[in-house]
Amino acid sequence: MDFLQMMGRENSTLVTEFILLGLASKPEEQLVLFGVFTVIYLVALIGNMLILLLVSLDSRLHTPMYFFLGNLSVVDIGYISSTVPKMLANYLSRDMSISWAGCLSQMFFFISFGGIECLILGVMAYDRYVAICHPLHYCTFMRRRVCALLAAAAWAIGLANSAVHSCLMSILSFCRVNILRHFFCDIPPLLQLSCSDTQVNQAATFALGGGLVSSSLLGTLVSYVYIALAILRIRTREGRLKAFSTCTSHLTVVSLYFGTILFTYLRPNSTYSQDQDRALPVLYGIIIPMLNPIIYSLRNKEVKGSLRKVLGRS
């Protein structure tokens, strides 16, 4: 405890760097986590890059669904890269510090890619809705220009949302402890450490961040209500199972992703615990970006066929 207090510099000096304690404090535990997260990071990079390669090389995958999957792969690469490399470097060097500018940059990219992922998942739900409920008009509703505008809007809104949070965070003062019991710089733990009034930041988190997540989640839920009604109208059991199977992977990730996001950000700052809640971002910020290429695409027959085709050419 004395060491933590010394590292925290509990005095009136403004904090210029933070100490990221990570997910473990013992060297042997850090070594295990270094190996685990190195494997996860490599799997995520290889899986998502493979999806991008296949979508770009195979003309059969030049469809709206795979266009959005390609966007999701780019987002997932950025999402996991915003936190894991710094965490691995900290475990390897035993230097757990991060500058205030580096902390703010890390938060900006993490919130950006998180917001974009929310919106892309919502757009993908709309794509499934059109494919199942309006199959004859799918090519009309999901024209290339429409898909490009939907993806561009997701990126623009996600970046703008993160820019607002980062600007509000940059004007706060940190003059007490500088220890973050976390593996990256995030909004809730930073607000807890600030010695400034954080009411505006909390309001922005609820209004902007909550609005982004809630609107995407609401759009997803509405899409699936219509999808469920359309599936129930299919006469054959095989037809219903086939239609539902196209949505199960997306629905699983949506449930995990939005559930943890809502629990982390849309609650009072006073109920946030750095010790108890630092493991949640591991699920939606690290595990899900690794699983997305597997559950969305690598189990898909079209992607498997494309992979065999590319390997055959090689």
Asked whether residue 4 is assigned to any structural domain, the reply reads: no
> Rounded distance, CA 287 to CA 256, Å?
10
Range scoring the smallest mean pLDDT among 54-68, 104-118, 202-216, 254-268:
254-268
Asked whether residue 6 is assigned to any structural domain, the reply reads: no
**Of 88, 171, 75, nearest in space to 122 by CA:** 75
Quickly state the pLDDT bin for 298 (edges 50, 70, 90): low
For 63-109, write each residue's pLDDT tens digit.
898 899 999 999 999 999 999 999 999 888 888 899 999 999 999 99
Mean pLDDT of the 171-197 span: 86
pLDDT reading at 273 higher than 80 = no
For 148-163, write each residue's pLDDT tens digit.
999 999 999 999 999 9
Pull the structure tokens for residue 7: 């590292």
Quickly state the pLDDT bin for 12 (edges 50, 70, 90): very low
Quickly state the pLDDT bin for 165 (edges 50, 70, 90): very high
pLDDT at 312: 65
Pull the structure tokens for residue 234: 């299919």
Q: Tell me, what amino acid is at 156?
A: A
> Rounded distance, CA 141 to CA 229, Å?
20
Question: Listing from the earlier edge strand, what are the strands of the sheet with 17-20?
Answer: 97-99, 17-20, 179-180
The residue assigned the tokens 């030049």 is 62
> Rounded distance, CA 142 to CA 223, Å?
15
CATH number of the domain to which 32 belongs: 1.20.1070.10
Mean pLDDT of the 113-139 span: 92
Range of the domain at 208: 14-313
pTM, full prediction: 0.86
Domain count, the chain: 1
pLDDT at 1: 39
Asked whether residue 8 is assigned to any structural domain, the reply reads: no
Give strand ranges (E) for 155-291.
Answer: 179-180
Asked whether residue 40 is assigned to any structural domain, the reply reads: yes
Task: Count CA atoms closer than 13 A to 155's CA, side-chain side.
Answer: 13
pLDDT reading at 267 higher than 50 = yes
> Rounded distance, CA 287 to CA 294, Å?
11
> Rounded distance, CA 296 to CA 253, Å?
9
Q: How many CB atoms lie within 10 A of CB 250?
A: 20
- Across the chain, mean pLDDT equals 84
Classify residue 15 as left (phi > 0), alpha (psi -120 to 50) or beta. beta
Chain-centroid distance of CA 124 in Å reads 15
